[in-house]
């Protein structure tokens, strides 16, 4: 049977990079000593008050069709929170609930990109961006952050990437996998370009509640950016709710209307009991305190890992400002990222991700997710130390 | 800002028809005497064992990322049930879980339709088909069932609608809004055409567990149809789980792989606790018995309504074989369907849907959903009697 070109456009995921992850999770089922640091899924459980809110909804029959855009009180809470953080003036008319930030990325792309368009994406970029952009028929134009300069924005590269076909600029801040945030100056530069060339900006801010240092800035709050910015967010990371599939898009009300039409034929709304849980996550003091405890725990884990990697001369680690990931440059070890990850798994049963999947600029890096408890993390550091000692020994022998 | 042509393609919903529904649900909040017969949302609650299964999943932390295609044991149960009903030989490799049959319709269309294609849809058709097909850039070619012949398949019209651009034939059996099922002969005719012209067939079978008389037949089970048939189904209607957003597509394993790639960037899987609930819905004896009780209840309500409408000379009612809907021809009253629905709402506070939204062949009809309890249904019949008495009186005066 014949399939559409779209089915080709969504096959682009760099599969090799995930091999070790799949091996690690598979072995983990049989061998508890495997340490899986290769996935962006929090080890925490969803805060209990959030769970009980869904239970309450389920048991009281909140299992019927709901408003396609999502419930008003939930969208109002999201609007208020976004306005207070970003400075962008928004109401519930600027918010639509969707099945996760991934779904919001997908749906937004369908509303703004078409065949012939170019969409610039700042790299490193999360792997599913490729499919979301390409399935619209648009071309993804990667612009690498400057890996020689702490992964700052490469102003010249971004400016030069814009053509008369450019329709949008996509980025994630804080970034997955780097954990770095775009600065005020960088965002202003992007905003100026977007305004000058009449471009959409898609700002993925799913890690904006998991910030350790510095201040997260939403580009939507910069002057004249509200009309052209789509802000994506979710509860997956902030509240350990990855599996719930609840997120949202914030943007101009016309966009929200289009997204609502799309949701009508794509999803037909989001479960009411999930929306009740989302409301609790964003308003209940215990749920918010739990989210804050997760953040400080990630910070403590990050500090432990950074300390570990700084001890090894052949590794250089970018200290993330946010998220649950960090990048480690392994090129000085003589291994490629893929080889390093494979060896680390084979010799030490630690699963990490070669960061090649996130773009060429991180091809020398591995991504480590700190989504294991302190004990496992300590054990991981010990094994990494042992692994590096072995490598150093072999390097000396080879000289 | 510029939006894509897709945003125009998904605006096609016939909005007028829903006006009365929105008015009715809005007034219902203030005035409990309003009877809403205009929506396809069961008045039943989800079976308690299904709810408790989700509760169990939520409370035991089944809130993390899951397999994109859905859990193996769930897909196996669905495959086994489909095979035993349809005769089509399938395994879990032929099944993918998606966020409702609506989402499965959307995603399947993206994998098989592209600009320039034509997709035939048998009318009456559910309203969101238009958007799902048009957003791919394909053209929807409606083929009306024969309204002068009990809404049987119009063999000639279907045959004549096929061009060298035709890529697929879509239909729902049992049908919403008619509640009628395609017969073995009709399905064989469609199958022969599909094989001859190498077409996909998309068979929406969400009402296949709500059958009162006759036998539901899956076209996927006919000779040589497995390779070209996409069967859509869900738990929304069979288990009163509309708001849960859980459904699936069954088709060739290559299609399932494409749908899996699409789900990766569109949804990133379906909540684990929802999948646990779905598994319970399909396997737990109490849940299945509850589903069966719903079916017999719909049948009792259908009988009551059919009896009501048969008493009125100016109304003719198509007795549905399945579903939770029935169609009533109101043309003999001198009203259009829209006028009839408006008057019925204004005079008797009953919300029904003009069936114009479902295609030209049902423009003389109103759709009635029997999703209210016996007491309300009895009251609705009384009010309809009163309304018709009033109409007859006015018609006599006018003569």
Residue pair A127/A358 in contact (Cβ under 8 Å)? The answer is: yes
SS3 A372: coil
In this prediction, the answer to ipTM > 0.85 reads yes
Domain A5-45+291-398, CATH: 3.90.1150.10
Based on the number of CB atoms within 10 Å of its own CB, is B84 exposed (0-12), middle (13-18) or buried (19 or more)? exposed
Segment B13-59, tens digit of pLDDT: 566 677 888 888 888 889 999 999 998 899 999 999 999 999 999 99
Beta-strand ranges (E) seen in chain B are 35-36, 95-98, 118-123, 139-144, 166-172, 200-204, 229-234, 247-250, 316-318, 325-329, 350-351, 353-354, 365-369
Contact criterion met (CB below 8 Å) for B265 and B308: no
* CATH match for B5-45+288-398 among 3.40.50.720, 1.10.3720.10, 3.40.50.620, 3.90.1150.10: 3.90.1150.10
Q: Which residue has the tokens 């598994």?
A: B279
Residue with tokens 């049963």: A349
What part of A 140-159 touches B (C-beta under 8 Å)?
none
B58 interaction partners in chain A (CB closer than 8 Å): 46, 51, 54-55
pLDDT value, residue B242: 96
Distance CA(A247)–CA(A232), nearest Å, equals 8
Give pTM, 2 decimals. Answer: 0.96
- Compute the nearest-CA separation of A63 from chain B (Å): 5
B75 touches chain A (CB under 8 A): no
The tokens for B343 are 């008057």
CATH classification for the domain delimited by B48-286, as one of 3.40.640.10, 2.60.40.3880, 2.60.130.10, 3.30.160.150: 3.40.640.10
User: What's the confidence (pLDDT) of residue A49?
Assistant: 98
For residue B355, the Cα-to-chain-centroid distance in whole angstroms is 14
Domain extents for chain B? 5-45+288-398, 48-286
Q: Which of B43, B63, B226 should one mutate to test binding to chain A, selecting the residue with the greatest count of A CBs within 10 A?
A: B63
| Residue that the structure tokens 């909140």 belong to | A62
Closest CA relative to residue A67, chosen from A275, A222, A362, A234: A275
The Cα–Cα gap between A177 and A362 comes to 9
* Average model confidence (pLDDT) across chain B: 95
Residues 6+ apart with CB under 8 A from A343: A335, A387
Q: Is the peptide bond before B174 cis (omega within 30 degrees of 0)?
A: yes
So what's the pLDDT on residue A393? 87
Report in angstroms the alpha-carbon separations of A278 from A69, A78, B355.
14, 10, 36
Q: Which residues pair with A319 in a beta bridge?
A: none
Could you read off the pLDDT of A121-134 as tens digits, one per residue? Answer: 999 999 999 999 99
In this prediction, the residues of chain A whose per-residue pLDDT falls under 50 are none
CA distance A217 to A183: 7
3-state secondary structure of B325: strand
Phi, psi of B69 (to 5 degrees): -80, -10
- A57 in contact with chain B, both atoms CB, cutoff 8 A: no
Q: Residue A180 in contact with residue A321, Cβ under 8 Å?
A: yes
**Which residues of chain A does B59 touch, with a Cβ-Cβ cutoff of 8 Å?**
51, 55
Facing residue for B1 by CB, picked from A4, A135, A228? A228
Edge-to-edge strands, sheet with B325-329: B316-318, B325-329, B365-369, B353-354
Nearest to A106 among B39, B243, B266 (CB): B266
The two tokens of residue B312 are: 């009125």
What does the pLDDT profile of chain B (399 residues) look like in tens digits? 999 999 999 986 566 677 888 888 888 889 999 999 998 899 999 999 999 999 999 999 999 999 999 999 999 999 999 999 999 999 999 999 999 999 999 999 999 999 999 999 999 999 999 999 999 999 999 999 999 999 999 999 999 999 999 999 999 999 999 999 999 999 999 999 999 999 999 999 999 999 999 999 999 999 999 999 999 999 999 999 999 999 999 999 999 999 999 999 999 999 999 999 999 999 999 999 999 999 999 999 999 999 999 999 999 999 999 999 999 999 999 999 999 999 999 999 999 999 998 999 999 999 999 999 999 999 999 999 999 999 888 888 887
Cα-Cα-Cα-Cα dihedral sign, residues A128, A134, A138, A140 = positive
pLDDT of residue B393: 87
Q: How do A166-172 and A200-204 pair as beta strands?
A: parallel
**Contacting residues for A104 by C-beta, under 8 A, at least 6 apart:** A96, A98, A232, A234, A247, A248, A249, A259
Place of tokens 């996409």: B230
Q: Under an 8 A CB cutoff, do B65 and A2 touch? A: no
Residue A128: list chain B partners with CB under 8 A.
264-265, 268
A64 contacts A75 by C-beta, under 8 angstroms: no
């Amino acid at each position: 049977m014949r399939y559409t070109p779209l089915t080709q456009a969504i096959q682009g995921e760099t599969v090799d990079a995930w091999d070790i992850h799949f091996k690690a999770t598979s072995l983990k089922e049989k061998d508890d000593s495997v340490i899986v640091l290769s996935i962006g899924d929090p080890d925490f459980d969803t805060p209990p008050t959030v769970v009980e809110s869904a239970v309450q909804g389920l048991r009281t029959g909140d299992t019927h069709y709901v408003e396609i855009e999502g419930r008003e009180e939930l969208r109002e809470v999201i609007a208020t929170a976004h306005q207070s953080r970003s400075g962008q003036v928004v109401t519930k008319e600027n918010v639509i609930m969707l099945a996760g930030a991934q779904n919001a990325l997908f749906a937004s792309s369908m509303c703004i990109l078409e065949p012939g368009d170019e969409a610039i994406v700042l790299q490193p970029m999360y792997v599913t961006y490729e499919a979301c952009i390409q399935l619209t028929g648009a071309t993804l134009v990667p612009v690498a952050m400057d890996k020689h300069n702490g992964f700052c924005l490469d102003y010249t590269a971004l400016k030069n990437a814009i053509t008369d076909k450019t329709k949008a600029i996509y980025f994630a801040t804080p970034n997955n996998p780097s954990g770095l945030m775009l600065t005020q100056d960088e965002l202003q530069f992007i905003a100026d370009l977007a305004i000058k060339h009449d471009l959409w900006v898609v700002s993925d801010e799913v890690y904006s509640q998991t910030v350790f240092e510095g201040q997260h800035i939403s580009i939507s709050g910069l002057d004249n950016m509200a009309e052209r910015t789509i802000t994506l967010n979710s509860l997956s990371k902030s509240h350990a709710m990855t599996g719930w599939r609840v997120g949202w898009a914030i943007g101009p009300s016309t966009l929200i209307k289009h997204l609502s039409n799309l949701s009508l034929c794509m999803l037909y709304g989001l479960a009411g009991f999930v929306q009740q849980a989302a409301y609790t996550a964003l308003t209940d003091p215990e749920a918010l305190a739990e989210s804050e405890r997760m953040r400080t725990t990630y910070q403590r884990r990050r500090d432990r890992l950074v300390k570990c990697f700084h001890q090894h001369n052949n590794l250089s680690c970018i200290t993330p400002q946010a998220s649950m990931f960090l990048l480690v440059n392994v090129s000085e070890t003589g291994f490629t990222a893929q080889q390093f990850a494979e060896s680390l798994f084979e010799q030490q049963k630690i699963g990490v991700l070669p960061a090649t999947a996130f773009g060429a600029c991180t091809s020398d890096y591995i991504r480590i997710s700190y989504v294991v408890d302190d004990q496992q993390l300590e054990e991981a550091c010990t094994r990494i130390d042992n692994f590096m000692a072995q490598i150093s020994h072999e390097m000396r022998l080879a000289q």
